[in-house]
Amino acid sequence: MSRNARHQALFGWLFAAPFAIGFLLVFVAPIIWAIRAAFFGSEAAEGGLYGGGARREVFVGFKNFAHAATNPGFWSGMGRVLAFGAIQIPVMILAALFLALLLDSFLVRRPGLWRLGYFLPFAIPGLIAAIVWTYLYLPELSPFAAALPDLDGIAFFLSPRLVLASMANITTWTYTGYNMLIFLAALQAIPHDLYEAARIDGASGWVIATKIKIPLVRGAALLAVLLSIIGTVQLFNEPTMIRTVATWMGNDYMPMLMAYNTLMGQISPSGMGPASAISILMAVVAGSLAVIYALVQRRIAR
């Protein structure tokens, strides 16, 4: 390597160093720590009738993973997540695609203003959005929920039959604009020569949208769905807030809620080890679902 090439490589690493250090500290290091913690548990230290009140860390091998994998509550929560995602993700992706196609067409004036308006819900912190929508679901505070009948003696939007739909509404409201930007970026990257050639051949706007635009944003759709699958498995803000008013929901209603309550000592066995094992098992499930979807999408594309 020449001296000039070495200097360029050095400056490149220097510029990348702040990001690399931050990435290692806030992303890689916590993952390594969680994996390590999943193989350990805590027990009472020796001394006194009850161990002296102190706790010590002990190696337990795959015991935490085995308990998480055989816990019916975990798989029940995962089943709710799958039911949630099977309905919410297609609705959100189709809505985002429709908005992106609308903004990319000649039908909308001032598309920048509309783009900002659609994206604005994503700019609101997820916890704040969950709090606002939880208030709107309460008959005592909502301008419309009070007019709806109770289901099984529980407020309409907070009943067991509709609570997943209520959470899906919050998630769709929050992330549709974000996914719209993914589709819009892919649409704007399509060469406009294709549109001109199609119009010369007599293609209508509907034909251009369905035969050119939608097929060419398949990669963006893959990215949006993969991110949605991973985010759905990690659903936390919505069930946490709704659970404060829908008291019938248990500590393990969602996998992420189960991991949090395990860490906080509300589910036994508790502590960092069992909670880390649940989190890692969730990551494995999310990764498996994402890989399966990617393979199916690739086979369909062929």
List pLDDT tens digits, range 18-53. 999 999 999 899 999 999 999 988 776 665 555 555
Which residue reads 């209603």 in tokens?
253
How confident is the model at residue 294, as a pLDDT?
84
Report d(CA 2, CA 6) in Å as an integer.
Answer: 6
CA dihedral 63, 68, 73, 76 (to 10 degrees): -150
pLDDT digit string, tens, across residues 135-159: 999 988 888 888 888 887 888 899 9
Whether the Cβ atoms of residue 158 and residue 137 lie closer than 8 Å to each other: yes
Q: Which domains does the chain have, with CATH numbers?
A: 3-59 (no CATH), 63-301 (1.10.3720.10)
Computed on alpha carbons and rounded to an integer, the radius of gyration of the chain in Å comes to: 24
pLDDT digit string, tens, across residues 159-186: 998 999 999 999 999 999 999 999 999 9
How confident is the model at residue 250, as a pLDDT?
85
Q: How far is CA 86 from CA 75, 79, 165, 172, 180, in A?
A: 16, 10, 12, 13, 19
Q: Which range among 42-51, 76-85, 121-130 shows the weakest confidence by mean pLDDT?
A: 42-51
Closest CA to 37 of 55, 54, 15, 59: 59
CA dihedral 240, 242, 246, 247 (to 10 degrees): 20
| pLDDT bracket for residue 205 (50, 70, 90) | confident
Report d(CA 74, CA 71) in Å as an integer.
Answer: 6
Mean pLDDT of the chain: 87
183-204 burial by CB neighbour count: b if 16+ within 10 A, else e?
bbebbeeeeeeeeeebeeeebe
How confident is the model at residue 50, as a pLDDT?
54
How confident is the model at residue 56, as a pLDDT?
77
Residue 222 makes CB contacts below 8 A (sequence gap 6+) with 293, 294, 297
Give the residue-averaged pLDDT of 119-123. Answer: 92
Report d(CA 249, CA 203) in Å as an integer.
Answer: 53
Tokens at 1, concatenated: 């390597």
pLDDT > 70: what percent of the chain?
95
Residues 285, 235, 72, 76: is their CA dihedral positive or negative? Answer: negative
Is it the case that residue 86 has pLDDT exceeding 60?
yes
Whether the Cβ atoms of residue 179 and residue 88 lie closer than 8 Å to each other: no
